[in-house]
Chains A and B, each alone.
Chain A
Amino acid sequence: MREIITVANKEFHDGLRNRWLISITLIFAVLSVGLTYFGAAASGTVGMTSLSTTIASLASLAVFLIPLIALLLSYDSFVGEQEGGTLLLLLTYPLSKNQLLLGKFFGQGGIIALATLLGFGASALLLFMQHNDVAILQTFAYFIISATLLGLSFTAIAYIISLVVSEKSKAAGVALLTWFFFALVFDLALLALLVGTDSGLSQTTLTQLMMLNPADIFRLVNLAGLDSSDVNGALAVAINANLTQVQLLAILFAWVMAPLAIASVIFKHKKL
C-alpha cells in the first residue's frame, strides 16, 4: 500500500506542477458557467437557462472534452518512462507492476476527479444559490460522478495504449485515433445502422450497442432524466430504454475496471 500511495502522490503532484489540475478545472468551470448563463443566447435571450438545457449542452460538450483530456494526461504514462529508462529502474525496486499501475491510476485519476468536481461543482453551486432547488444538486451529482467515471475510463484506456506502443509519438497518434473513434465514429456508425437498415434496429439492440462506448453511456446517464426535446440523434431513441441511471453508472464503472484489468495483463507480459 505504501508503494501505491508513493506513486500516486508523485503522479498527483506532477499533475499539479504541470498545471493540469488548474487548466482542466478552469476549462470545466468556464464551460459550465458559460453554458449555464449564456446557453440561451442562441435563442436571443441572455440569462439562466433551464436545468435540462444546461445539462444537455454540458453533456454534449463534455463527452468530447473529457476523453480527450484524459487521453492527453495519461497517454505517455508508461511509454514515456520506458523511453526515459525509469520504468526499468522502477521495476527493479520492491514495487510490483500492479502497484505501479494502480499508483499512477490513483494519482492521475485524482487529478481528473478533482478537476471535474471543482470545475462542474462551481456552476452547480452557482445555480443552486440562485434557485435554491435541490434537484439541481442531484442532477449535477449524477453529472459529476459520470464525468469522473468517463475520465477514469479513458485514463485506463490511455494506459493500454501507453503499454502496447513502444514510442511516445506513436502513443499520441493512437490516443488521438482512439478519441476520434469513441467520440465521433462510433455514433456515426450507429446512426448509419439505424437509418440504413430497412427493418430498423430495435430499441434494445441500439441501447445494447451503446454500452460498447463509455462516451455514449455518459450521455445516456445525463440525458435519461431530461425532456427528450433537448435531445436528438440516435440518443433520443435509446433514451426511453429501461436502464436506470444507477445501472448505467455501474456499466460505466465497468468501463473503468475492464481497461484497467487489461492494462494490468498487458503490463505483466510486457518485455523490457
Chain B
Amino acid sequence: MNTPVVVLENVSKHYKDLTALSAINLELAQGEVLGLFGHNGAGKTTMMKLILGVIAADVGDVTVMGVKPNDKSAWHMRAKMGYLPENVMFYEQLTGLEVLSYFARLKGQSQTHAKALLEQVGIAHAMKRAVKTYSKGMRQRLGLAQAFLGEPKLLLLDEPTVGLDPSATAEFYQSVDQLKTQGTSVVLCSHVLPGVEQHIDRAMIISGGKTLALGTIAELRAQANLPIKIKPQGLNGALTNDALLTPYLDASGSLQVPAQEKLRILRHLLADDSLSDINLESANLEQVYQYYLAQAADNKTAQMTTNSTTEHSKAGA
C-alpha cells in the first residue's frame, strides 16, 4: 500500500551511558497493525516517543506521514496521531467528560465527538463522575477514548489492555480491527498477551534496544522452528513403546514434533485404531517470544565466554 506511515531508518537513541535503542529499522504500512513486544526497559516506550516526536533520535531518521515528527512542520500531523501512554493519571478532580472534552478541544474536536467516544468505550454512564472514582479498567477505557480522538491515522498504544476485563479486552480488539479496516495504522506495545496474535499483522520483538525479530507471526514461528505439540488420546500406552514416537515424547505425555515431521507422525498416529482423539497445538506467540529472548541471551553468553577465553589465553601467555 502507498507510502509507509512510519519509517525508522537505522535509528539509535542513547541516554547518557544507556543505549535505549540501536540500529532500529521499521516500516509501517497504512492499515497495518504491529505488535511491539519486549520486557520492561527493552526500548518500547523510547521507540514510541521517537515516533511521537517528543524526543529526537541521535542517529538515523524517523519519518511519520512524510514528515519528521519532532519538526515544526509536523504540527498538523500530530492531530492525526493517537497515543495511549502507560500508566497515565488523568486529572483526578475532573469528570471523565471534562477530561476528554479538554483533550478533544486541544485536537480541534467537539464535545459531541468526545461523548460519542465515551459511549464507544463504554463509560458514558460514568462521564459525569470525577475520574478519582473510576476503577483501573475505567481509567484505561478513558485513556483509549483519548487515543481514539479525531479518528487518528496512526495509533500508538502502550499496554492498552492492562486493567481491562476479558470482555473489555475483546471490545478493545474489535475497535482495533475496525480502525484497521478504516486504514489506521496501529502500534500495539505490550508484554506478550494471550489473544493478541489474531489482531496483529506483524510482530517486532526487541530487547536491550535491539531488534530480535520482525515479521508476521507465521514467519517468526517458521524461523524459530519450534516443535508442534501433538496430544493423542487413547492408544493404550502405545506411545511409550513405539520407537518412532518415543524420541518426541515429553513428560506430560504429549509429543513435541518438529514442523517438518508433523505429517509423518500424524499419519503414523492416525493409522492406529485405538486413537480416540488428537490435539494439535503450534507454538503460540508467548513461546515464540521466549525463544527469541532465550536465543539473544545465549548469543550474549556465548560472546562473553569467547571474550573471557581470549582473556584467559592472554593471561596464560
CA A93 – CA B79 in complex, angstroms? 6
CB contacts under 8 Å to A, within B87-111, are 87-91, 93-94, 102-103, 105-108
For the complex with contacts A6-B106, A17-B94, 9 further pairs of A-B residues with Cβ separation under 8 Å are: A3-B106, A14-B93, A85-B89, A88-B85, A89-B85, A89-B103, A94-B75, A94-B76, A271-B55
**A93 and B90 within 8 A (CB):** no
Give the 6 A-B CB pairs with smallest separation, nearest first. Answer: A84-B89, A85-B88, A94-B78, A6-B105, A92-B52, A94-B79
Tell me, yes or no, whether B83 is within 8 Å of chain A by CB: yes
Tell me, yes or no, whether B54 is within 8 Å of chain A by CB: yes
**B83 and A89 within 8 A (CB):** yes
CB-defined contacts of B146 to chain A, threshold 8 Å: 89
Tell me, yes or no, whether B57 is within 8 Å of chain A by CB: no
Q: Digit string of B42-77 for contact with A (CB within 8 Å is 1, else 0)?
A: 000000010011110000000000000000000110
Chain A residue with Cβ nearest B69: A92
CA A62 – CA B16 in complex, angstroms? 46
Chain A residue with Cβ nearest B91: A86
CA A17 – CA B146 in complex, angstroms? 23
CA A92 – CA B157 in complex, angstroms? 13
CA A18 – CA B94 in complex, angstroms? 11
Given A86-B90, A88-B54, decide whether A94 and B102 contact each other with a Cβ distance below 8 A.
no
**B79 and A272 within 8 A (CB):** no
Taking the closest CB of chain B, its distance from the CB of A78, in whole angstroms, is: 14
CB-defined contacts of A3 to chain B, threshold 8 Å: 106
**Can you offer 19 A-B residue contacts whose CB atoms are under 8 A?**
A2-B108, A3-B106, A18-B93, A83-B89, A85-B85, A85-B86, A85-B87, A86-B89, A86-B90, A86-B91, A88-B49, A89-B85, A89-B88, A89-B103, A92-B53, A93-B103, A94-B106, A272-B49, A272-B55
Tell me, yes or no, whether A10 is within 8 Å of chain B by CB: yes
Tell me, yes or no, whether A250 is within 8 Å of chain B by CB: no
Given A88-B85, A92-B52, decide whether A6 and B102 contact each other with a Cβ distance below 8 A.
yes
**A92 and B78 within 8 A (CB):** yes
Q: Digit string of A71-100 for contact with B (CB within 8 Å is 1, else 0)?
A: 000000000000111101111111110000
Taking the closest CB of chain B, its distance from the CB of A206, in whole angstroms, is: 46
Chain A residue with Cβ nearest B87: A85
CA A84 – CA B131 in complex, angstroms? 13
CA A113 – CA B75 in complex, angstroms? 32
Given A85-B85, A86-B90, decide whether A91 and B106 contact each other with a Cβ distance below 8 A.
no
CB-defined contacts of A84 to chain B, threshold 8 Å: 88-91
CA A99 – CA B54 in complex, angstroms? 15
Question: Using a Cβ–Cβ cut-off of 8 Å, how many residues does chain B contribute to the interface with A?
Answer: 27
CB-defined contacts of B108 to chain A, threshold 8 Å: 2, 94
Tell me, yes or no, whether B81 is within 8 Å of chain A by CB: yes
CB contacts under 8 Å to B, within A1-41, are 2-3, 6-7, 10, 14, 17-18
Identify the A interface with B (CB < 8 A).
2-3, 6-7, 10, 14, 17-18, 83-86, 88-96, 271-272
Taking the closest CB of chain B, its distance from the CB of A256, in whole angstroms, is: 26
The A interface is mostly helix, strand or loop, or mixed, namely helix
With contacts defined as CB atoms under 8 Å apart, how many contacts are there between chain A and chain B in the complex?
A: 61
CA A2 – CA B76 in complex, angstroms? 14
CB-defined contacts of A7 to chain B, threshold 8 Å: 106
Chain A residue with Cβ nearest B88: A85
Chain A residue with Cβ nearest B52: A92
CB-defined contacts of B103 to chain A, threshold 8 Å: 89, 93
**B78 and A93 within 8 A (CB):** yes
CB-defined contacts of B53 to chain A, threshold 8 Å: 92
CA A90 – CA B103 in complex, angstroms? 8
CB-defined contacts of A17 to chain B, threshold 8 Å: 93-94
Chain B residue with Cβ nearest A17: B93
CB-defined contacts of B85 to chain A, threshold 8 Å: 85, 88-89
Most chain B CB within 10 A, of A3, A10, A89, is at A89
Taking the closest CB of chain A, its distance from the CB of B75, in whole angstroms, is: 5
Chain A residue with Cβ nearest B79: A94
CB-defined contacts of B86 to chain A, threshold 8 Å: 85
Given A84-B88, A85-B88, A86-B90, decide whether A92 and B105 contact each other with a Cβ distance below 8 A.
no
CB-defined contacts of B106 to chain A, threshold 8 Å: 3, 6-7, 90, 93-95
Taking the closest CB of chain B, its distance from the CB of A49, in whole angstroms, is: 41
Q: Digit string of B217-253 for contact with A (CB within 8 Å is 1, else 0)?
A: 0000000000000000000000000000000000000
Chain A residue with Cβ nearest B103: A93
CB-defined contacts of B90 to chain A, threshold 8 Å: 84, 86
Chain B residue with Cβ nearest A84: B89
**B107 and A94 within 8 A (CB):** yes
CA A83 – CA B76 in complex, angstroms? 27
CB-defined contacts of B94 to chain A, threshold 8 Å: 17
**A91 and B75 within 8 A (CB):** no
